[in-house]
Amino acid sequence: MSSIGKSINQFINEQQNKTDSNSDDLSGLIADIASACKKIAHLVNRSAITGIGGASASENVQGEVQKKLDIITNDVMVEQLNHHGHLAAMISEEIEDIIQIPEHLPKGKYLIAFDPLDGSSNIDINISVGTIFSILRCTDASREVRSDDFLQAGTEQICAGFCVYGPTTMMILTTGNGVNGFTLDSEIDEFVLTHPDMTIPEDAAEFAVNISNQRLWETSVQRYIDECIQGVDGDREKNFNMRWVASMVSDVYRILIRGGIFLYPLDTKSANSSGKLRLMYEANPMSFIVEQAGGLSTTGYQRIMDIKPTDLHQRVPVILGSKNEVERIMRYHQEDK
């Protein structure tokens, strides 16, 4: 029987029952995340009316000016997720330190890393933004959670997902058993399954990159993008199209729907030449989703999910999407080594 139209809670409960009878609180945690995302969708949607668009007076841990909505949506995530006893602690792209669960509240066995409002520089121009999250297991929740509890490779994730606040609000989710997409039905205020078993085509002819950084990339990336631009007039067998929303959730969503390659590669302008995107909040969850949908995700040299993190806010180069295109650029990195 088709699962289309099932609510996200119903779907996750059924999936978990099949695989792990001990995972009730993962379904509960996903339900809390879905509630937080519904609230964020509403806030984003009304931000121009309520006056919460625009910059705040503060900077985040990476020294970037925070949007008011970065701070507000961070608080929504914390408040929605901290009181049902599913989590041992949280980390957020917007907050320097670990967010511990207050002592008077119950603690659970999971850890979550989230970017509450990815692509927030797009808010003022009414382009899609999103929330990204990654769930890990906490090995010892009996004491205060430390950084090293979070510093697990992406392969240890047990669930990852993202929400896109676009023309429709969607949640994309994996628990390591494929990728499913849910659309927020505003009539019933529920995420319902609309995109079961999302898979990324192995071949594609669309690339997404901020081309203004071209002069700062490594030769292997320059070569790959040059060849895409030259298309059949150069060394490629097809012509390519370019799309760059500058909102990772939208760019990755597009790749899940029709394939393509997304790059935020190493460049010489980023601190320590490490790329822009954050391993724990963006690269790992997106890599888990992309791999579960049949795609690949790499720094160019290494599978992203194999990286052992050393810092909660570390950045990495990200190249992900359709298998054959990602393999090609990995080959170029090897050749240039």
Query: Residues annotated as binding site for substrate?
Result: 118-121, 210, 276
Binding-site partner at residue 210 among ligand AHM, Mg ion, none, CB < 5 to 8 Å by type = ligand AHM
Q: In angstroms, rounded to a whole number, what is the distance separating the alpha carbons of residues 299 and 320?
A: 9
Which sign, positive or negative, has the C-alpha torsion 158, 329, 266, 206?
negative
- Binds 206: which of Mg ion, ligand AHM, none (CB < 5-8 Å by kind): none
Q: Kindly state whether residue 118 participates in binding Mg ion, applying the rule CB under 5 A.
A: yes
The angle subtended at Cα 202 by Cα 198 and Cα 205, nearest 5°, is 105
**Under rule CB under 5 A, residue 115 binds Mg ion:** yes
Residue 251 as a binder of Mg ion (CB under 5 A): the answer is no
> Which of the choices Mg ion, ligand AHM, none does residue 86 contact, using the CB cut-off of 5 to 8 A by kind?
none
Q: Is 206 in the site for Mg ion (CB under 5 A)?
A: no
Tell me how far, at minimum, the Cβ of 264 lies from ligand AHM, in Å: 6
Minimum separation from the CB atom of position 331 to ligand AHM (A): 24
Which residues make up the interface to ligand AHM (CB under 6 A)? 64, 93, 115, 118-121, 210, 246-248, 264, 276
**CB nearer ligand AHM, residue 18 or residue 215:** 215
For residue 117, which amino acid is it? L
What is the DSSP pairing of strand 241-242 with strand 261-264? unpaired
> Is residue 229 within 8 Å of 240, Cβ to Cβ?
yes
Binding flags for Mg ion, 69-108, as an x/- string (CB under 5 A): ----------------------------------------
Which residues of 32-144 form beta strands (DSSP E)? 55-59, 65-67, 87-92, 99-100, 110-118, 129-137
Structure token digits, residue 179: 């990728």
The entry of Mg ion, ligand AHM, none that residue 190 binds, CB within 5 to 8 Å by partner kind: none
Quote the least distance from Cβ 321 to ligand AHM, whole Å: 13
Rounded Cα distance, 234 and 228, in Å: 8
Smaller CB separation from ligand AHM, 28 or 300: 300
Q: Which amino acid is at 278?
A: R
Q: Mark the binding-site residues for Mg(2+), compressed into ranges.
A: 93, 115, 117-118, 282
* Angle at alpha carbon of residue 62, lines to 337 and 255, rounded to 5°: 60
Sorted by sequence, the CB contacts under 8 Å of residue 209 that are 6+ apart come out as 225, 242, 244, 262, 263, 264, 265
Q: Which residues bind Mg ion (CB under 5 A)?
A: 115, 118
